[in-house]
Structure 1
């Protein structure tokens, strides 16, 4: 894993990050985007493109958003058909429980 989308993306889904990703590794859940930990090449182009400052490099994540790194891994373990590029896969339409259980006013 290299970069991680965090709670600032919940209910935003801006997708500016998707446009910058050279390997198409940013997938759409229901309420937020997810970076595939095995497909990300650690280029960092997504981070400055995010208008919500929701993306962090895994090694410099604040403690309070660290659970989103684990959530991304678990999300793709659960959705093992989400491989080979987000454009090919299309929106997944569900979220990790960490996101799915959040109320809209918490985002």
Structure 2
């Protein structure tokens, strides 16, 4: 019973996923998914050591984990994150509100 409670607690505090997705030109985004309710936030590289939050992504949030979506980052003009049939526009210059 104690083991079950430990795993239930770990799931409740939210062991999330962070997935770095890199485009062919070397630019990348970090997609962070909360382990508790599946909320997704996308971060873009700000400088050599920092990322900045660029948008929330409720379109790909939930219980199908982002790491299982086969997402890819496409650049050329405006960057977009493609996860299956969902296309998310990414503007690294814009800061999320």
Question: TM-score scaled by structure 1?
Answer: 0.26
Q: Which has the higher helix share?
A: 1
Considering only CA atoms, is the larger Rg found in Structure 1 or Structure 2? Answer: 2
Q: Which has the higher strand share?
A: 2
- The higher-RCO structure (CA 8 Å, 6+ apart) is 1
Question: TM-score scaled by structure 2?
Answer: 0.28
